[in-house]
């Protein structure tokens, strides 16, 4: 395997973290960034010792097995004999031999299979031999759930979890000092970085008007929409028909994945695609692995233009030629949204961008996929504003979403018009521009804070010392604030925000301009520092 430079660097960082004493490392990389390549390279390094790769669905087990076979790594699989036979047949068809070896030290296993064996003596003996475990979609792992229970049985092993979104809808922390198992988190290049480096394709999002009403759809304990209520709301809407119309308008001829909420709505969508002359196939959790592989081959060849599915291709699916993602399934889960969105971002020959058709408001719900997000292993149950998401506006001319701080659509130039979809209160006009006069005034204010105050007239030593103390406290807090503004504004600048946008966002967060903030003291200064801590910590 030939790793890209950042993948090789991240691989070295993972090994260094293990060597420094971190038993469980969480590696964060956006969908399409090549997590599988990094994992496979690490697995290939360690075939002489016992290691286990854990997945939570049979299709993911099959995909991992094919990935290892593609680089010639023999492996055992702990699953049913019928599935082992099916995976073996697929490998023979693709690589002229099967790499499944029941005596291999490298094992692929489903988490539920391992969970059922925890109390068995032979399992416990085997678990003690394991020197490394790897788990994809590691945001699932908590100490008390099934993933955590299984991973904690490997007491002699280093561990690696990978995910694109190290956060949970229930806000539990993935860190070992909180609710999870991971001792440290290593963050790879962002989606913006990977796009700038040419490893992911740019995207265009279209959010056509929709009559979908989710006001009566409740959330489950895990934080996503209740399926039965969601299905009813979708049934009463026209989004399925709209999907066909807008695919033909914006993405006609592109290979696409359509994500639906349930099997019934997926069947309807598949039928309408085919009726409109768009070759489509339905794939569900009950579709055999071989049929899924063949469906992907047909999509790649162009014999199919749409794979309509119910949460099947959200995780671990890799087909670079996919150029269109259609959301017909609303989700309250950032993880699911980012995974499904990312299926269209892989680069391919003659692929200039990915088209995202969001008929259900997922972009409005979660923000643009490449917006700045501050990941943390800490619990967020008592915290807010960890994500800098101040709002998105939908252009009513071209249906493109864009930052609500802008006064016009960056795609078609249309002036912002009132939209019924959620957005933040708009701040009219640019608040502050750093012209020379403003800079001079800022310097004067900073000098008054940074320099010792003149001694009070006709006052005693105690009063003088008290004034010095107050000035010193204010100066120290202002230094903290300035460092935070530099970090915060630098992050926004890095992802493409102009100075004008940054000033407006700061005003929205704090109620004062950046210049005013750097001349404050007392409680108002403390409040601004607290607000910035929430979006930078």
Residues 449 and 518 in one domain: yes
Task: Evaluate if residue 278 carries a pLDDT over 90.
Answer: yes
CB 364 within 8 A of CB 333: no
Q: Do 171 and 332 meet the contact criterion of CB atoms below 8 Å apart?
A: no
Q: What is the pLDDT of residues 286-329, one digit of tens each?
A: 898 889 889 999 999 999 999 999 988 877 678 899 999 999 99
Residues 251 and 312 in one domain: yes
- Give whichever of 208-217, 388-397, 418-427, 441-450 has the largest mean pLDDT: 208-217
- What pLDDT is stored for residue 440 in this prediction? 53
pLDDT reported for residue 423: 36
Domain boundary among 331, 351, 369: 369
Q: Residue 447: which domain range?
A: 436-536
Residues 241, 346 within the same domain: yes
Distance of CA 148 to the CA centre of its chain: 21
Q: Is residue 381 part of a domain?
A: no
Could you tell me if 247 and 128 lie in one domain?
A: no
- 147-171 mean pLDDT: 95
Q: Provide CB contacts within 8 A for 287, sequence distance 6+.
A: 295, 312
Which CATH number covers residue 308?
3.40.50.300
Residue 141 scores a pLDDT above 60 = yes
Q: CB–CB of 212/237 below 8 Å?
A: yes
In the chain, the number of structural domains is: 3
User: Which residues is 26 bridged to in the sheet?
Assistant: 161, 185
| Per-residue pLDDT, 415 | 85
Last residue of a domain, one of 127, 162, 190: 190
pLDDT cut 70: percent of the chain above it: 86
Q: 0.75 cut: is pTM over it? A: yes
Same domain, 217 and 259: yes
In a shared domain, residues 27 and 142? yes
Of 90-99, 329-338, 442-451, which range is least confident?
442-451
- Nearest-angstrom CA–CA distance, 33 and 320: 12
Least confident span in 83-97, 403-417, 428-442: 428-442
Residue listed under structure tokens 């469980």: 24
What is the mean predicted confidence (pLDDT) over 256-277?
Answer: 95
Domain contains 377: no
Q: How far is CA 297 from CA 31, 85, 302, 305, 306, in A?
A: 21, 21, 9, 11, 12
Residues 6+ apart with CB under 8 A from 327: 259, 340, 356, 357, 358, 359, 360, 362
Are 233 and 212 a contacting pair, CB within 8 Å? yes
* pLDDT over 90 at 50, yes or no: yes
- Please provide the DSSP assignment of 260-302 as one string: -SSHHHHHHHHHHHHHTT--EEEE-TTS-HHHHHHHHHHHHHT
Query: 256 and 365 in one domain?
Result: yes
Q: Is residue 337 assigned to a domain? A: yes
Q: Which of 17-31, 77-91, 162-176 has the highest mean pLDDT?
A: 17-31
With respect to residue 149, please indicate whether it lies within any of the assigned structural domains.
yes
Residues 165 and 228 in one domain: no
Last residue of a domain, one of 141, 158, 190: 190
- Residues 217 and 306 both lie in one domain: yes
| Token duo for residue 335 | 């993880």
Q: Has residue 374 been placed in a domain?
A: no
| CA 76 – CA 239 distance, rounded (Å) | 44
Q: Give dist(CA 69, CA 84) in Å, integer.
A: 13
* pLDDT grade for 396, boundaries at 50, 70 and 90: confident
Residue 386 placed within a domain:
no
Inside any domain, residue 418: no
Do residues 289 and 341 both lie within one domain? yes
pLDDT for position 432: 38
pLDDT attached to residue 537: 61
Most trustworthy range by pLDDT among 63-67, 476-480, 512-516, 531-535: 63-67
Residues 100-128, mean pLDDT to the nearest whole number: 96
Q: What pLDDT is recorded for position 367?
A: 86
pLDDT of residue 169: 84
Q: Provide the pairing of β-strand 392-394 with 401-403.
A: antiparallel
- What is d(CA 303, CA 526) in angstroms, rounded to the nearest whole number? 62
Confidence at residue 421, expressed as pLDDT on a 0 to 100 scale: 44
pLDDT digits (tens, 9 = 90+) for 431-444: 333 344 544 555 56
Question: pLDDT of 480-515, one tens digit each?
Answer: 888 888 778 777 776 666 666 677 777 777 877 777
Average pLDDT of the segment spanning 509-523: 77
Span 241-248, average pLDDT: 92
Lowest mean pLDDT among 72-86, 147-161, 169-183, 475-489: 475-489
Determine, yes or no, domain membership for 256.
Answer: yes
Whether residue 267 is predicted with pLDDT greater than 80 in this model: the reply is yes
pLDDT of residue 445: 60
Question: Do 216 and 365 sit in the same domain of this protein?
Answer: yes
Same domain, 339 and 286: yes
């Amino acid at each position: 395997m030939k790793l890209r430079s950042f993948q090789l660097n991240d691989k070295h960082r993972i090994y260094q973290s293990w060597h420094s004493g971190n038993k469980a490392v969480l590696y964060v990389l956006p969908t399409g960034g090549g997590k599988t390549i990094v994992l496979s390279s690490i697995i290939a390094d360690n075939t002489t010792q016992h290691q286990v790769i854990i997945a939570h669905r049979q299709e993911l087990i099959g995909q991992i097995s094919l990935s290892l076979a593609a680089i010639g790594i023999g492996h055992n699989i702990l699953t049913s004999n019928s599935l082992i036979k099916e995976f073996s047949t697929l490998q023979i068809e693709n690589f002229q031999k099967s790499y499944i070896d029941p005596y291999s030290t490298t094992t692929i296993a489903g988490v539920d299979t391992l969970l059922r064996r925890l109390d068995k003596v032979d399992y416990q003996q085997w678990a003690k031999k394991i020197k490394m475990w790897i788990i994809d979609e590691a945001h699932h792992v908590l100490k008390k759930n099934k993933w955590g229970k299984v991973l904690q049985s490997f007491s002699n092993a280093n561990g690696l979890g990978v995910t694109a979104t190290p956060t949970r809808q229930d806000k539990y922390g993935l860190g070992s000092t909180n609710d999870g198992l991971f001792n440290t988190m290593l963050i790879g290049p962002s989606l913006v970085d990977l796009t700038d480096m040419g490893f992911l394709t740019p995207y265009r999002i279209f959010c056509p008007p929709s009559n979908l009403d989710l006001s009566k759809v409740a959330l489950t304990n895990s934080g996503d929409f209740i399926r039965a209520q969601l299905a009813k709301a979708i049934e009463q809407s026209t989004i399925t028909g709209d999907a066909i119309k807008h695919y033909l308008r914006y993405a006609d001829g592109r290979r696409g994945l359509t994500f639906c909420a349930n099997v019934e709505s997926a069947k309807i969508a598949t039928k309408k695609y085919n009726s409109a002359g768009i070759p489509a196939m339905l794939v569900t959790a009950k579709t055999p692995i071989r049929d899924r592989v063949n469906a992907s081959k047909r999509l790649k060849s162009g014999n199919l233009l749409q794979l309509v599915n119910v949460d099947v291709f959200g995780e671990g699916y890799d087909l670079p030629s996919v150029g269109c993602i259609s959301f017909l399934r609303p989700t309250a889960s950032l993880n699911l949204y980012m995974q499904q969105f990312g299926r269209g971002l892989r680069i391919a020959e003659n692929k200039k961008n990915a088209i995202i058709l969001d008929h259900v408001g997922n972009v409005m719900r979660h923000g643009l996929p490449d917006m700045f997000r501050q990941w943390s292993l800490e619990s967020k149950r008592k915290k807010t504003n960890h994500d800098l998401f101040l709002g998105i506006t939908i252009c009513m001319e071209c249906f493109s979403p864009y930052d609500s701080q802008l006064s016009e659509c960056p795609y078609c130039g249309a002036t912002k018009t009132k939209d019924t979809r959620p957005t933040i209160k708009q701040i009219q006009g640019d608040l502050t521009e750093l012209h020379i006069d403003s800079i001079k005034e800022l310097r004067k204010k900073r000098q008054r804070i940074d320099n010792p105050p003149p001694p009070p007239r006709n006052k005693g030593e105690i009063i003088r010392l008290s004034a010095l103390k107050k000035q010193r406290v204010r100066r120290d807090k202002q230094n903290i604030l300035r460092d935070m503004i530099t970090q915060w504004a630098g992050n926004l600048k890095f992802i493409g925000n102009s100075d004008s946008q940054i000033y407006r966002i700061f005003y929205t967060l704090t109620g004062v301009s950046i210049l005013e903030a750097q001349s404050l003291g007392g409680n108002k200064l403390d409040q601004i520092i607290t607000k910035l801590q929430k979006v930078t910590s």
